[in-house]
Amino acid sequence: MKIVVIGSGYVGLVAGACFSDFGFDVVCVDNNQTKIDNLKKGVLPIYEPGLSEIVQHNVQAERLSFTTNLGTALKGAHAAFIAVGTPPRPHDGHADMKYVYAVAEEIGRHADGDLVVVDKSTVPVGTGDVVERILRAANPKGRFAVVSNPEFLREGVAIGDFKKPDRIVIGAEEGWARDVMTELYSCPGFEGAPIVHTSRRSAELIKYAANAFLATKIMFINEMCDLCEAAGGDIRDVARGMGMDSRIGEKFLNAGPGYGGSCFPKDTLAIAKTARDHRVGLDLVEAVIRGNDNRKRAMAWKLIDTLEGDLAGKTVAVLGLTFKAHTDDMRDSPAIAIVQALLDKNAKVRAFDPEGMENAKALLPGITYCGNAYEAAEGADAIAIVTEWPEFAELDLAHLKSKMSRPVIVDYRNMIKPGAANAAGFVYTGLGYPKGSLARQSYYPAVAAE
Ligand code: NAD
């Protein structure tokens, strides 16, 4: 079976590489010439563990190729996956569908046989109908079926997630398209991952509902984190005790500085907008969006207060910039809000991230980028651990302290053992327990005022 994947970013490139690794003939298409030129030279546009090896192996095996020319790529294809971005529209937060619709129109113009057009991008309910109309308008004689097949991979572990998914959701309206998709996902590589067949609209909604639920779980534990700080519990124990309940589950119960990334912020905004358009109130999701936005900005106060409120001329070493570990993705990272708040207070910021610094430079100019954590700590009045890169749990604390002006650590990911930090002479503040931390009220002026 020949597959074309349009959009060679975090989802499209992983999907294309993994399908080819399972033996399919795959062409990855992108309209960014530089990306495609680099991919042809073996240079990947993103950091994703294990991806480079899979790409290299399948290019050599002549199962995977790259092009900017969709027309050529579509020749003889059975399925075309749309995996372009659906970023939030600046004015109302709804998913901006212009990239998906542009690709649909281009597919319509070039398709030359029966083609299953698969929406892998995260798209609002009803998008499949619009894509179908665009295809038919562009190519009235073409035989198309539009399928929704949302992607659930997580950056950083994307290969494992794609190859061994918890479930594969296929929303197809036509039998022949369902058959093509079932054949694709029944190949031995997917090792019997459960396939959920639904209507196209249900499939589109499953993706948003899942992400809104996960975002809610994160916001929930973060609120419990604040309550622990104010009332005297320890969020790590509370989360463990909650997570052992099989109805709740232990995942997504790590308190932190708020969710970020390319999915949860935009998908919660988009589902809330969809609901409003349908005159349905998603009060819970709206509250989660508001709470998470407030939290990201408020998190800087933990550090500002630790440094007695006056940051002018002080130096903060920020360890970790990406929205989570094992990716170079900076989209909506909590680090952006935290660093911005520090700069607003006239602090000097020295930062280190193992993979994210190139992407960070465009978003966070005016800070000093360093080669490692110890270099970032030089002359610092405090260290802020913002992303949970495992190497930050292994820092040589004595060496770190020797570099700093003041031995202060604010650990937004609870990575360092408080006892070890204190024994090394640090003033240490983690998240979600009272000692050395601040009550929720001081972060949320609106709540305090009530
Ligand atoms: P991305 O920005 O990394 O990649 C999108 C790619 O599409 C870019 O390389 C861009 O150049 C290309 N593109 C745009 N218009 C094009 C066109 N007309 N023709 C060819 N290529 C074009 O985006 P992403 O993170 O891979 O996300 C893609 C979709 O998948 C989004 O809807 C997202 O919500 C969803 N998704 C993302 C993740 C994730 O972890 N990143 C997980 C699940 C689902």
396-431: pLDDT as tens digits: 999 999 999 999 999 999 999 989 999 999 999 999
Q: Which tens digits make up the pLDDT trace of 52-96? A: 999 999 999 999 999 999 999 999 999 999 999 999 998 888 999
Is the confidence at residue 446, as pLDDT, over 80?
no
- The span from the CA of 215 to the CA of 342, in Å, is 26
Q: Which tens digits make up the pLDDT trace of 128-139? A: 999 999 999 999
- Residue 143 placed within a domain: yes
Q: Show which of 134, 166, 198 is a domain's final residue.
A: 198
Q: Characterize the bridge pairing of strands 315-319 and 348-352.
A: parallel
Which residues are bridge partners to 351 per DSSP? Answer: 318, 369
Q: What is the pTM of this model?
A: 0.93
With left for phi above 0 and alpha for psi between -120 and 50, is residue 390 left, alpha or beta?
A: alpha
Q: Which tens digits make up the pLDDT trace of 254-270? A: 999 999 999 999 999 99
- Residue 107 placed within a domain: yes
Tell me the residue ranges of DSSP E strands in 72-219.
79-82, 115-119, 144-148, 168-171, 195-198
Helix axes 235-243, 200-231, angle to 10 degrees: 140
Same domain, 431 and 325: yes
Kindly tell me the sign of the dihedral angle through the C-alpha atoms of 2, 7, 8, 13.
Answer: negative
User: To test ligand 1's pocket by mutation, which of 94, 166, 262 has the most ligand atoms within 8 angstroms of CB?
Assistant: 262
- The span from the CA of 10 to the CA of 339, in Å, is 25
CA of 421 to the centre of ligand 1 (A): 41
- CATH code (residue 336): 3.40.50.720
For all residues of the chain together, what is the average pLDDT? 94
Ligand 1: lining residues by beta carbon, under 6 Å = 6-12, 29-32, 35, 83-86, 99, 102-103, 121-122, 151, 153, 155, 262-263
- Residue 210 placed within a domain: no
- Residue 406 placed within a domain: yes
Q: Which atom of ligand 1 is nearest to the CA of 106?
A: 18
- Residue identifier of the C-alpha nearest atom 25 of ligand 1: 10
- Which residue is associated with the tokens 């690794």? 21
Q: Which tens digits make up the pLDDT trace of 367-393? A: 999 999 999 999 999 999 999 999 999
pLDDT at 435: 59
Output the six-digit token pair for 442: 């001081």
Q: Show which of 179, 198, 217 is a domain's final residue.
A: 198
- Residue 437 placed within a domain: yes
Same domain, 176 and 47: yes
- Residue 120 placed within a domain: yes
- Residue 309 placed within a domain: yes
Range of the domain at 155: 2-198
Residues 6+ apart with CB under 8 A from 140: none
- The span from the CA of 170 to the CA of 81, in Å, is 13
Q: Which residues of 248-271 are buried (b: 16+ CB within 10 A; e: fewer)?
A: eeeebbbbbbbbbbbbbbbbbbbb
Same domain, 182 and 305: no
Total domains, the chain: 2
Whether residue 28 lies in the annotated active site: no
User: To test ligand 1's pocket by mutation, which of 30, 43, 44, 51 has the most ligand atoms within 8 angstroms of CB?
Assistant: 30
Same domain, 36 and 184: yes
Residues 6+ apart with CB under 8 A from 409: 382, 383, 385, 416, 421, 426, 427, 428, 429
Is the confidence at residue 438, as pLDDT, over 50?
no
Q: Show which of 198, 224, 257 is a domain's final residue.
A: 198
Output the six-digit token pair for 428: 């240490």
